[in-house]
Amino acid sequence: MGILDKIKDFITEEAPEGEQSYAEIDEYKDIGDKRLAIKIFDVKQESDIKNVLNELREGKTIALISRNITLSDAQLKMMISKLKKTCDAANGDVVGLSESLFIATPSMVKVDRESKA
């Protein structure tokens, strides 16, 4: 007897006389869209970081942040500080890949910092 036959027998099984037949099912739970998006952000000015922070707060985005060379060192430090605070609050992570490229992740993504050469 195959699996389809077992399912068919279960579905078509009749209840004993005088009893009602019913099947118990689990409550429906909407799990929503659990996929992560990888988005690339080109930060040209301080106000551009707000879009990145909003995406990170939702927890569904891995952000690759490219810093434009026109940002001063003070602006860069402020941007990194805001990224760290947002990621810390959401149990996420921020890693600098180079002087002009950063990755920020939600809590469900861990960045392995050990180089495997």
- Segments making up each domain of the chain, as ranges: 37-105
What is the pLDDT confidence band of residue 81, given thresholds at 50, 70 and 90? very high
Q: pLDDT at residue 93 above 70?
A: yes
CATH class of 37-105: alpha beta
Q: Is the dihedral of CA 49, 82, 61, 112 positive or negative?
A: positive
Mean pLDDT of 52-65: 88
Q: What is the pTM of this model?
A: 0.64
What is the pLDDT confidence band of residue 85, given thresholds at 50, 70 and 90? very high
Mean pLDDT check: name the lowest of 40-49, 65-74, 99-108: 65-74
Q: pLDDT at residue 15 above 60?
A: no
The three state secondary structure string of 72-100 is CHHHHHHHHHHHHHHHHHCCCEEEEEECC
